[in-house]
Amino acid sequence: MFGKIIDLLEERFTFKKSLQEDVFEHKVPNKLNFTFCFGGLTFLMFLLLVATGIAMLFFYVPTVDHAFTSVEYITFDLPMGNVIRGVHHWSANGIIVFICLHMLRVVVYGAYKNPREFHWISGVLLFAVTLGFGFTGYLLPWDQKAYWATNVGVLMPKGVPFIGDHIVSFLMGGSNIGALTLSRFFALHIAVLPLITAVFLLAHFLMIRRTGVARPL
């Protein structure tokens, strides 16, 4: 029964062949050590962040009068809520650590060189997006730490010649940190940045399929 459905789907999508060639029989160098796991671990962190993030999205409310209490509810009242939020928190820290280790490994092995220049560029962009996730996510609980760290961060572009003040009010959604700041950080955190991540992640993975992992030295 199940096999039949698979066969019918295979007829329409021919995914078995692609999976066979691109995943199962894909060759990697023989002498890979544990440092080659950092990329995969970064991806694991990303998956944990997506899963726990979606779980919290069922309860979190991005408004200045309810953000704090809804995070409080997740943290103290919701069964397993503290674990979900904790995994999100620690994975958010872990993803930065693993990105840094992954990048260091790539630099030491010179793996960013031809033909893998664009793997590196998409990776640097992913790192920048990850920092964007960190910055926007930090505001969402709307506690003192969140408010004041955002206050400092959001004013940094003030020094840009000519348009500095406009960048600041664009980020804040007005002349002060308030309801619109919270809702735009929320939109960035759960919709815009994940979409950008998905695009660059797909590119990153497809390219490494194509060129293979750089041979260890």
Partner 1 sequence: MADEVSRRKFLTAGIGVISGTIIVGLGGAAMVSIAAPAITNKQQGKWVSAGNIAELPPGQFSQVNLTYDAKDGWMDGKFKMLAYVKVEGENISAFSATCSHLGCNVNYDESTGGFKCPCHTGMYDKNGKNVSGPPPHPLKKLEAKIEDGKLMVNTLPKEA
Partner 2 sequence: MQDDVSAPENGDTEKQMIFFPNFLFLEAIAAIIVFAGIVALAVFIPMAMGDPADPSASAFKPKPEWYFMSAFYLLKLCPSSIEIVPTIIGPAVGGALLMLMPFIDKHPERSPKKRPIAMILTAVITVSVVGLTVAGIYLD
Site for partner 1 in 69-128 (CB under 8 A): none
186 binds, among partner 2, partner 1, none (CB under 5 to 8 A by kind): none
63 binds, among partner 2, partner 1, none (CB under 5 to 8 A by kind): partner 1
- Is 184 a binding residue for partner 1 by CB under 8 A? The answer is yes
Centre a 10 Å sphere on the Cβ of residue 217 and count the other Cβ atoms it contains: 8
- Is 195 a binding residue for partner 1 by CB under 8 A? The answer is no
Q: Tell me how far CA of residue 144 lies from CA of 58, 139, 151, in angstroms.
A: 24, 9, 10
Q: For residues 202 and 183, give the distance between their C-alpha atoms in angstroms, rounded to a whole number.
A: 28
Listed ranges 2-10, 37-45, 55-63, 198-206: which one lies at the site for partner 2 (CB under 8 A): 37-45
Q: Using CB under 8 A, pick the residue from 55, 56, 71, 201 that binds partner 2.
A: 71
- Is 169 a binding residue for partner 2 by CB under 8 A? The answer is no
Q: Using CB under 8 A, pick the residue from 16, 17, 26, 166 that binds partner 2.
A: 26
Computed from CA positions of residues 20, 21, 22, 28, in that sequence, does the dihedral angle turn out positive or negative? Answer: positive
- Is 176 a binding residue for partner 1 by CB under 8 A? The answer is yes
- Is 175 a binding residue for partner 1 by CB under 8 A? The answer is yes
Tokens coding 28: 């990697």
- Is 183 a binding residue for partner 1 by CB under 8 A? The answer is yes
Q: For residues 10 and 127, give the distance between their C-alpha atoms in angstroms, rounded to a whole number.
A: 36
Q: Residue count at the site for partner 2 (CB under 8 A)?
A: 81
Which of 99, 203, 89, 90 shows the shortest CA–CA distance to 141?
Answer: 89
- Is 140 a binding residue for partner 1 by CB under 8 A? The answer is no
CA dihedral 96, 98, 100, 101 (to 10 degrees): 160
Q: Tell me how far CA of residue 161 lies from CA of 56, 164, 167, 169, in angstroms.
A: 39, 6, 11, 15
- Is 160 a binding residue for partner 1 by CB under 8 A? The answer is no
- Is 124 a binding residue for partner 2 by CB under 8 A? The answer is yes
- Is 152 a binding residue for partner 1 by CB under 8 A? The answer is yes
Q: Using CB under 8 A, pick the residue from 116, 184, 189, 204 that binds partner 2.
A: 116
Nearer to partner 1, 94 or 157 (CB): 157
Listed ranges 33-41, 112-120, 165-173, 197-205: which one lies at the site for partner 1 (CB under 8 A): 165-173
58 Cβ contact partners less than 8 Å away, ≥ 6 residues apart: none
> Within its chain, how far is the Cα of 186 from the centroid?
14
> Within its chain, how far is the Cα of 29 from the centroid?
28
